[in-house]
Chain A
């Protein structure tokens, strides 16, 4: 089955760190860019970061650059999002998604992993 499955979310104290994982199956993972998008409760979609197929090109939205790090392991068919210095406003459902044609639309999404930042 063609799918993306996120994991690694949970309840974290402010200032903590977390590594989210996005595991792919059913398609040629190494040929696709992968993105991370989050959605706070009751709010809209916020694009966070993307990584190209071989991991040589990374891009971030300005307000997370320096705290978020995207990476990938093509042998493990997994993309990661490391988040440092977690804040309450990072509380959200985090999705990973596949870029259909590179710098194009996101045609395959996971179900998301919930991150809650609270003391």
Chain B
């Protein structure tokens, strides 16, 4: 079974910073990788699908990259509303979410 690791598990950054969250799969997932944002008490929201495609309506400060086993989501010009937990998800095989990364704004 494919395993997913996310790093870091949490981070704290300032408004305007650029932050990168990494997701690593235990085997190649051929860009079948999505990124979600979840705020407390809310359902998740897809930000990036197929590793690098920006979901309609999502601000362009979010971007995704990667291939094979290693993928990143980068948030440039971090905003207060970006405070949330971010999850990666592989869908090459039976879908699996990563453990999540909590992003806090200083």
Which A residues fall within an 8 A CB radius of B? 35, 37, 44-47, 50, 59-62, 95, 97, 100, 103-107, 109-112
Contacts and interface: CB of A to CB of B under 8 A. Distances in A.
Contacts, number: 62
Contact of B97 (A47, A62, A103, A104): A47
B91 A103 contact: yes
B46 A105 contact: yes
A61 to B, nearest CB: 6
B4 to A, nearest CB: 11
Given A44-B87, A45-B100, A61 B43 contact: no
Tier of interface size on chain B: 20 to 34
Main SS of chain A's interface residues?
A: strand
B50 A106 contact: no
A104 B50 contact: yes
B38 interface: yes
A59 B49 CA distance: 21
Given A44-B87, A45-B44, A100-B46, A107 B55 contact: yes
A111 B46 contact: no
B96 interface: yes
29 contacts: A35-B95, A37-B44, A44-B85, A44-B87, A44-B97, A44-B98, A44-B99, A45-B87, A45-B89, A46-B97, A62-B1, A97-B44, A100-B49, A103-B32, A103-B91, A104-B34, A104-B49, A104-B50, A105-B50, A105-B55, A105-B89, A106-B89, A107-B46, A107-B49, A109-B44, A109-B45, A110-B43, A111-B43, A112-B43
Contact of A106 (B32, B46, B96, B99): B46
Contact of A105 (B49, B94, B98, B100): B49
A95 B1 contact: no
